[in-house]
Amino acid sequence: MKRLIEAADIQSKVSELGRRIADEYRGRPLTVIGVLTGGVVLVSDLIRSIDLPLRVGMIHASSYRGKATSPGDITLDVELLPDIRDRHVLVVDDIFDTGRTLAAVIDHIRTANPCSVRGAVLLWKERRREIDWEPHYFGFKIPDVFVVGYGLDYNDEHRSLPYVAALEEGDF
């Protein structure tokens, strides 16, 4: 594996994002919706950096399964979503790759009549985008490589790494 983003840089960026989000949502009812499973690490760090009262919920969205390195069909499990009617919603995911997963989640969230919906991601593969939408908040733009760590996995491994690394040919 080749390290792309060190743990200290991630923590600094997450703190910066948390301050920015707090400033922009101050005085408004905020619900943070984390996208499982990859987004759980970012969600837990980010909500501690947002100095506001907020609610937290989760949604399970999947497009990569097992040893897949390219996205497939998107499935959503919405059982863990709280009531978001008349609240501002921030959907938090690990990576904006093609954008299809975050777009599907946001489209579903909009059916619950929130005041607003925005997206936040740690990583953004700008050149892979397949939709006409961009995340409102992001930590780092990265090249089109398969990454693991800080919640991201390959075959359900490497999520616990505190840094982000690119898998190299022999790692698959």
Confidence check: pLDDT of 135 > 60: yes
- Among all chains, which residue has been given the structure tokens 């979503």? 81
| pLDDT tens digits, one per residue of 24-40 | 999 999 999 999 989 99
DSSP annotation of 126? G
The domain locations on the chain are: 7-143
pTM: 0.89
- The CATH class that applies to domain 7-143 reads alpha beta
In angstroms, the CA 143 to CA 55 distance is 33
Task: Out of 45, 94, 97, 153, pick the active-site residue.
Answer: 97
- Supply the angle between the helices 40-49 and 7-25 in degrees, to the nearest 10: 60
At 161, is the pLDDT very low, low, confident or very high (cuts 50, 70, 90)? very high
The full 3-state SS of 98-109, as one line of letters, equals CCHHHHHHHHHH
At 131, is the pLDDT very low, low, confident or very high (cuts 50, 70, 90)? confident
Q: Is 94 a catalytic residue?
A: no
Cβ–Cβ contacts within 10 Å for residue 68, how many?
A: 11
Reading the block at residue 149, the tokens are 């760590």
